[in-house]
């Protein structure tokens, strides 16, 4: 797969690029999804004077290219004498050592993960090269972690952190994403888990680089997100009046309240650590007080002792993501968390994850409790399921039971090189 600009010498055409072969075969006239049809990568061009050299100005993401002559003179045929593309990335694939000691299926997953991250590393860490190429903070958190274990482009991470800190909303909240063209600006989308992840990104950056100067400069933005998060809490837990307060996953019907509580606790632990490193004792004490109260309320409100799972929302929904985020947040004792994750994989509640973003947290939670073999099994099933279908970069959404699943109502606009799916390259290096 290439994130690239293309050029060709034509004597006569229209064109269409596809990340998957199915995108070439699909008819865009049949598209019925809920986001813009304009994200389908096809161009219709009138060429009046031939021969000519045609350079397409947009950046595309494609493995397959179709050139189709809609109509032309009866006396002539279309001839493409030469074609070229310019692939672009801020990452050097030759700088990353291969994982020679792992089995071939895991090495393949690693190669595809690296290619996925490479194609998403541009002027910023993009969410994917196919659509609007925004800088999303949820993706950035996972991209940065994987980058630390692979390409080690610390300046790109630093740049993205400063962009988020410098382009907050009017109320001081860090937006879920930024537009980078034609000018850099914050989107109006707000997700509480994403704003809190600024703390997590700063924590990971410090643990990797020990760059205390940068952390000190950016910490006020992180601390402010913790303060502002309390506006969306009532009686010590996230409010229920906004079902999309958190992202967590694209899964339809997912209740996000319990998982969002887990994210809050997870980020509080990291915020307390950073405040301590910076010598901000009052802030550290305040965060630690919040943390103790939050853990207590998480158990009181969400833990169902009889069912052996965390439940979420008015319907007491049991989802994979509620369990995984409470485990990552260390709400239970370590052995309780371990038994919870094993029970999750045994009983398999029907509210499963949809995206690699969510499945990453399933695997990370398994690794967090020491279940390495179960984590590898899940990785092989999920990411290996994509490679078995021919993926050479990993996808935005994948349901092993429904390979054409889409959060948008049509897989024609799905991204098949998506940042949040790159993490096996980090997990394999960190834990194996």
pLDDT in tens, 403-429: 778 888 887 888 889 999 999 999 999
Nearest CA-CA partner of 256 in 341, 200, 295, 313 = 313
Provide the total of helices (H) and of strands (E) in the chain, helices listed first: 13, 14
Question: Structure tokens of 319?
Answer: 């989802």
The span from the CA of 233 to the CA of 396, in Å, is 30
Among candidates 327, 320, 147, 175, which has minimal Cα distance to 249? 320
Q: Which range among 67-81, 239-253, 339-353 shows the weakest confidence by mean pLDDT?
A: 67-81
- The two tokens of residue 20 are 């998957």
Q: What is the pLDDT of residues 7-23, one digit of tens each?
A: 544 444 456 666 777 77
- What is the rounded distance in angstroms from the CA atom of residue 84 to the CA atom of residue 98? 29
Across 352-378, average pLDDT: 98
Rounded distance between C-alpha atoms, residue 9 and residue 11, angstroms = 7
Query: Tokens in use for 330?
Result: 């260390």
Domains of the chain (ranges; CATH) run 2-87 (no CATH), 93-305+316-431 (1.50.10.10)
Q: Which residues pair with 82 in a beta bridge?
A: 9
Which among 259, 41, 12 has a CA at the least distance from the CA of 129?
A: 41
Q: Mark 32-43 as b/e (b = at least 16 C-beta within 10 Å).
A: ebeeeeebbbbe
Rounded Cα–Cα distance for residues 361 and 375 (Å): 10
The rounded distance, in Å, linking the Cα atoms of 387 and 114 is 13
3-state SS assignment for residue 360: helix
At 130, is the pLDDT very low, low, confident or very high (cuts 50, 70, 90)? confident
- Token digits for 422? 């790159």
The tokens for 65 are 């290219």
pLDDT average, residue stretch 65-79: 81
Quote the CA–CA distance of 70 and 336 in Å, as a whole number: 64
Chain center to CA of 151: 18
1: pLDDT confidence band, cut at 50, 70 and 90?
low
> Using an 8 Å Cβ cutoff, are 329 and 265 in contact?
yes
Nearest to 228 by CA among 182, 194, 205: 194
Please say whether the beta carbons of 146 and 99 come within 8 A: no
Short-list 78, 52, 10, 142, CA closest to 424: 142
- Going 366 to 369 to 371 to 376, the CA torsion angle's sign is positive
pLDDT tens for residues 159-191? Answer: 999 999 999 999 999 999 999 989 999 999 999
Question: Which of 428, 392, 424 shows the shortest CA–CA distance to 64?
Answer: 392
Q: What is the tens place of the pLDDT at every residue in 291-333?
A: 999 999 999 999 999 999 999 999 999 999 999 999 999 999 9
């Amino acid at each position: 797969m290439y994130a690239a600009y293309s050029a060709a010498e034509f004597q006569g055409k229209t064109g269409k690029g596809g990340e998957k072969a199915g995108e070439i075969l699909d008819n865009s006239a049949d598209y019925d999804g809920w986001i813009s049809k304009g994200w389908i990568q096809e161009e219709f061009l009138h060429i009046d004077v031939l021969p000519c050299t045609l350079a397409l100005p947009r950046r595309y993401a494609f493995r397959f290219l179709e050139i189709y002559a809609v109509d032309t003179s009866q006396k002539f045929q279309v001839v493409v004498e030469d074609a070229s593309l310019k692939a672009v990335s801020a990452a050097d694939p030759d700088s990353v050592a291969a994982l020679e000691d792992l089995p071939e299926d895991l090495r393949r997953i690693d190669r595809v993960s690296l290619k996925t991250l490479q194609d998403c590393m541009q002027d910023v860490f993009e969410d994917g090269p196919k659509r609007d190429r925004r800088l999303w903070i949820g993706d950035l958190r996972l991209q940065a972690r994987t980058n630390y274990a692979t390409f080690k482009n610390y300046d790109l991470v630093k740049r993205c952190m400063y962009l988020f800190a410098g382009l907050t909303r009017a109320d001081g909240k860090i937006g879920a994403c930024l537009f980078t063209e034609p000018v850099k600006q914050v989107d109006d989308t707000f997700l509480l888990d994403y704003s809190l992840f600024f703390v997590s990104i700063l924590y990971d950056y410090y643990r990797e680089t020990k760059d205390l100067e940068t952390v000190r400069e950016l910490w006020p933005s992180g601390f402010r997100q913790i303060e502002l998060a309390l506006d969306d809490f009532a009686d010590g837990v996230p409010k229920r009046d906004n079902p999309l307060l958190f992202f967590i996953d694209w899964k339809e019907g997912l209740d996000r309240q319990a998982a969002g509580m887990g994210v809050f606790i997870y980020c509080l632990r990291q915020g307390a650590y950073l405040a301590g490193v910076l010598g901000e004792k009052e802030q550290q004490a305040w965060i630690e007080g919040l943390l103790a109260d939050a853990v207590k309320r998480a158990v009181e409100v969400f833990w169902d002792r009889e069912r052996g799972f965390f439940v979420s929302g008015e319907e007491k929904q049991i989802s994979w993501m509620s369990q995984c985020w409470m485990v990552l947040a260390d709400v239970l004792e370590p052995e309780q968390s371990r038994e919870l994750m094993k029970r999750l994989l045994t009983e398999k509640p029907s509210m499963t994850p949809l995206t690699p973003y969510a499945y990453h947290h399933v695997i990370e939670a398994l690794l967090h409790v020491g279940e390495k073999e179960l984590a590898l099994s899940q990785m092989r099933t999920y990411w290996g399921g994509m490679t078995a279908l021919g993926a050479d970069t990993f996808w935005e959404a994948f349901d092993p039971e429904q390979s054409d699943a889409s959060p948008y109502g049509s897989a024609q606009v799905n991204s098949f090189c998506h940042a949040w799916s790159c993490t096996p390259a980090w997990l394999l290096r960190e834990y194996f």
